[in-house]
Chain A
Amino acid sequence: MDKRIRVLVAKPGLDGHDRGAKIIARALRDAGMEVIYTGLRQTPEQIARAALQEDVDAVGISILSGAHNTIVPRICQLLREEGLGDVLVTVGGIIPNQDIPGLKQAGVAEVFQPGASTQEVVEFIRGRVQQKA
């Protein structure tokens, strides 16, 4: 059955640059997904709680501040603690190559760097979520 994919677009940390998060949210919506955008400056705890309450299939984290190595693994850990270990986690933003293996080890399925197209993101999330279903 084609239940609509639910995605939480999350903006953790102190950074206010939300151009990317908003574009991704809109592109996912245009692709037929249900999107919940957290708004700015959410703590990892708030993001995990929102993922639980909203019963999402995926969490897309947008972060451009350089704090990803601290914040992203924390979100992944909290998701597991909430019993959401099977929720797909993706990250987009200013992420240097050398940080990607660590993020994937922490539980991130994919990292989208600058220049990634919204279609890549849509297809990745759709593919992975449908695989699980």
Chain B
Amino acid sequence: MVHKRAEAIHEVPRERPKAPETDSSRDERKHNAAPGRVSERQETFTTVSGVPIERLYTAENLGDFDYARELADPGQFPFTRGIHRTMYRGKFWTMRQFSGFGTPEDTNRRLHYLLAQGQTGLSIAFDLPTLMGYDADHSLAEGEVGKCGVAVSSLADMETLLAGLPLETVTTSMTINSPAVMIWAMYLVVAERQGARWEKISGTIQNDILKEYIAQKEYIFPPKPSMRLVVDSIQFAAREVPRWNPISISGYHIREAGSTAVQELAFTLRDGIEYVEWVREAGMAVDDFAPRLSFFFNSHNDLFEEVAKFRAARKVWAHVMRERFGARDPRSWLCRFHTQTAGCSLAAQQPYNNVVRTAIQALAAVLGGTQSLHTNSLDEAWALPSEAAATLALRTQQVIAHESGVASTADPLAGSYFVERLTLDTERACLDYFEKIDALGGMVAAIEKGFPQREIHEAAYAYQLAVERKEKIIVGVNEYAAAEPAPLDILVIDEAAAQRQKEKLDGLKRKRDGRRAEETLEALASAAAGNTNLMPYILNCVRAYATLGEMCDVLRKVFGTYEEPAFH
């Protein structure tokens, strides 16, 4: 891999240099920037991420701000104001509630329910054994089957999960990373058997392994073979499933792990750069795959900081694609993204307050121009959402869409001195991180050195201490606390789910053509030892009802597994 240092891709206006001090400017500053202590609630004001905020923003803060260069109209480079000319006047964002628990039957029922409630896209959560590439009957799956999401060990489970869902018309997002290629192959085979054409179906697999090493830590194989699987799926999508998003480059988990807004943005977009470099290295032209790269961000409580982050994301990515990679197709320049409200911001105490937090976060995502949105449920600091809580979360989006009026015009906060300054500062800070990571040799190298992991841990610890010192107030937690029992009916996962899944797996292994399954697995093993695209081999395994665990075991043998080194 050749990593070149980022050229200074574009200039970000800094605040105007201060004029020589005169008596009147001194007076003005006294008035403006150094108010009497008594008149303000606290000495310094900062965002959730700790960025200092001034008392007042004026034209002075924007210096030589050029509309065409910094913003441009929605749908115009650099897309700061949004990727579409009409934004939500054309169509609302996709309301996509992440859902999955218990057996495939349980989750299938919830998916049908959500569509009936007006949800416009599906989003499937898998349980931890599935995320880690273990079948439901593996010893490490004990206690975990169906707990954090739905259990899927084979094509048979996927057939049940998707029963009755029209795959040519509904778009499905699947949160799956290390074994993304296997789960995607299962989805494609179900589509094939439904008669849904691959060139028509649309959806997303998360498939973002870099943020697993950085934040969520659900990795199986070492970084390099993992990157090969990502490259294989991007290439396969471009050839065979052209409307599919083969990756959703995710900041969500980075933020949940405790990063600042800037770190979330910078590490995510730098991961994006890494993927583009690797796919290009594998011989694809940038415009042949870049239009299908998609992103996934978190939306936390600090409304303006979040809006600035979303706007900066589009602008930075547009410049990266056009200048760093020379992309010519305007669709390659677009940072299209899904947003989820911040799970880590939700409190176990006084859980109804979470509805308010989620509404503010969802509003930020919409004001920031997201393409799709998941709103968290009020009970998520306790368990997976109950049906009632999930419905209220969806209703929150519907109220913002239909009642608040914010969807009637594109980028309504543009031109605010504060929002534009924050957007410029976020962009600048993001580019500074790019320089550091480029200097470390790129993101895979930075991860191997523990750089993003350490940065996030420092930010998480600083935030925790700020909360404990009450420098940051969390309503109902460190202030306005009240002794109260949890008033919620939470979702309890039926412990029998695990047993049912084991029995199904047993039955499957007896019923299937065992020799055929074995042959396809052997073919996968020899292909993995070479450097051919593995998708066709995995599809064959899936069609022969080889299980997820069997496929992952084959690759564990060939690729090895990854253990995170201890970073200090």
Contact = CB atoms under 8 A, between A and B. Distances in A.
A97 to B, nearest CB: 5
B117 interface: no
B129 A14 contact: yes
Contact of B382 (A13, A43, A96, A117): A96
B489 to A, nearest CB: 11
B485 A115 contact: no
Interface stretch (A53-61, A63-71, A78-86, A101-109): A63-71
Interface in A13-56: 13-19, 22-23, 26-27, 37, 39-41, 43
Nearest to A119: B468
B464 A67 contact: no
B229 to A, nearest CB: 18
Interface string B343-368: 01001110000000000000000000
B468 A19 contact: no
Interface residues of A, number: 32
B68 interface: no
> Which of A19, A27, A37, A65 neighbours the largest number of chain B CB atoms within 10 Å of its CB?
A19
Interface residues of B, number: 44
Nearest to B148: A65
Given A19-B460, A23-B461, A71-B143, A13 B348 contact: no
Contacts of A27: 464
> Which of A43, A69, A96 neighbours the largest number of chain B CB atoms within 10 Å of its CB?
A96
Contacts of A5: none
A118 interface: yes
Given A16-B216, A65-B144, A65-B148, A23 B383 contact: no
B142 interface: yes
B143 A70 contact: yes
Contacts of A18: 217, 257
B443 interface: no
Nearest to B130: A14
B556 to A, nearest CB: 14
A114 interface: yes
Contacts of B143: 13, 67-71
Nearest to A22: B457
Interface string B525-568: 00000000000000000000000000000000000000110100
Task: Decide if the interface of chain A is mainly helix, strand, loop or mixed.
Answer: loop
Contacts of B383: 66, 94, 96
B497 to A, nearest CB: 11
A17 B347 contact: no
A23 B464 contact: yes
Contacts of A130: none
A14 B140 contact: yes
Contacts of B141: 14
Contacts of A41: 140
Nearest to B474: A115
Contacts of B485: 97
A115 B477 contact: yes
> Which of A14, A27, A69, A70 neighbours the largest number of chain B CB atoms within 10 Å of its CB?
A14
Interface string B194-233: 0000000000000000001000111100000000000000
A14 B128 contact: yes
B460 A22 contact: yes
> Which of B344, B461, B490 neighbours the largest number of chain A CB atoms within 10 Å of its CB?
B461
A39 B217 CA distance: 11
A9 B7 CA distance: 44
Contacts of A113: 348, 381
B486 A67 contact: no
A43 B474 CA distance: 35
B256 interface: yes
B309 interface: no
A40 B215 CA distance: 12
B347 A14 contact: no
A39 B566 contact: yes
Contacts of A40: 217, 564
Nearest to B381: A114
Contact of B217 (A16, A66, A94): A16
Nearest to B134: A14
Interface in B124-157: 128-129, 131-132, 134, 140-144, 147-148
Nearest to A26: B461
A13 B144 contact: yes
A17 B216 contact: yes
A27 B563 CA distance: 24
Contacts of B384: 66
Contacts of B400: none
B258 interface: yes
Contacts of B349: 115
Nearest to B257: A19
Interface of A: 13-19, 22-23, 26-27, 37, 39-41, 43, 65-71, 94, 96-97, 113-115, 117-119
7 contacts: A13-B143, A13-B144, A17-B256, A41-B140, A69-B143, A114-B381, A115-B347
Given A23-B461, A68-B143, A96-B383, 5 more contacts: A40-B217, A66-B147, A67-B142, A115-B348, A115-B349
Closest 6 CB pairs of A and B: A70-B143, A16-B217, A67-B143, A66-B147, A14-B128, A114-B348
